[in-house]
Amino acid sequence: MQEQLGRVAPLAPLVAEAARRLGVDRVALIDVSRPAGLNLVVDLARVDYSTGVSLGSPGSPVRITADVIRRAAPPSTALPTVVRRIVLARSPLDLGSASDRLLAVESSPVERREVARAQVDLLSGHDVVSVPGDPIEMLPSAVAALPAGVAPIVMTTWAVSALAASRRAALLAAVASLARERRIAWVSVEGVGVAPSIPTFGDRPASGHSILGVAVSSGGQLRFDAVGRCWQRGAKVAWLGEDVR
């Protein structure tokens, strides 16, 4: 099983930025193709960036640190209120099961298991809707079941890279179809050129870093932006904003 550790440091500013662009303060987080759903702790954890910016819950038992490259720190935009947490995966883990909890923790390298265990414990105290099956096929029904006034934010962290080109296009098409009907965002942390339609700043594929991307619905269509880079699975970040190309 792939590592299940939640990638909070690059995700937190992306979720905050997506909500800001959508003009919403109540969201549903949808973690795609991550069976443990640990990205869903993004608002519950605390991230301290090396420039002094912090995001997330101040008193959280899960604290993450990240180095900021060239002082390109994420903005201090507050994260939105999360009213629903959803996992879309072929075989979601049940964090109420001791064996599945152990599997989620032991998917991480030994040096990161303490953080993974803390994330599992934190998420276990919150309601999570787990939807088994093909994540792309299940996305429309998961979104349709949301309460009125709640905007879905789809999250992928190094998940799109596991998809064939046709499946990447299908994911994009699914989000774009939903964007014609409602406010929705897709935030991605993927290798250069992996997330379809997300700009790359002109970076070359396999450059050793990943692109922080955000796509939000606007006028029935998706608007795509690259807003930063990260290295070492989010241990180092650079927030560049929407106007940099």
For residue 223, count CB atoms less than 10 angstroms from its CB and return exposed for 0-12, middle for 13-18, buried for 19 or more.
middle
Encode the chain (245 residues) as per-residue pLDDT tens digits: 788 999 999 999 999 999 999 999 999 999 999 999 999 999 999 999 999 999 999 999 999 999 999 889 999 999 999 999 999 999 999 999 999 999 999 998 899 999 999 999 999 999 999 999 999 999 999 999 999 999 999 999 999 999 999 999 999 999 999 999 999 999 999 999 999 999 999 999 988 999 999 999 999 999 999 999 999 999 999 999 864 33
Q: Which of 243, 215, 211 is nearest to 228 (CA)?
A: 211
Assigned token pair, 235: 């241990």
Give the CA distances from residue 100 to residues 46, 139, 221, in Å, rounded to whole numbers and listed in that order. 24, 24, 39
Query: Within a 10 A sphere around the Cβ of 220, how many other Cβ atoms?
Result: 10
Measured CA to CA, the distance from residue 203 to residue 22 in angstroms comes to 27
Measured CA to CA, the distance from residue 31 to residue 128 in angstroms comes to 10
Query: Within a 10 A sphere around the Cβ of 177, how many other Cβ atoms?
Result: 13
pTM of the model: 0.96
Label the pairing between strands 221-231 and 210-218: antiparallel
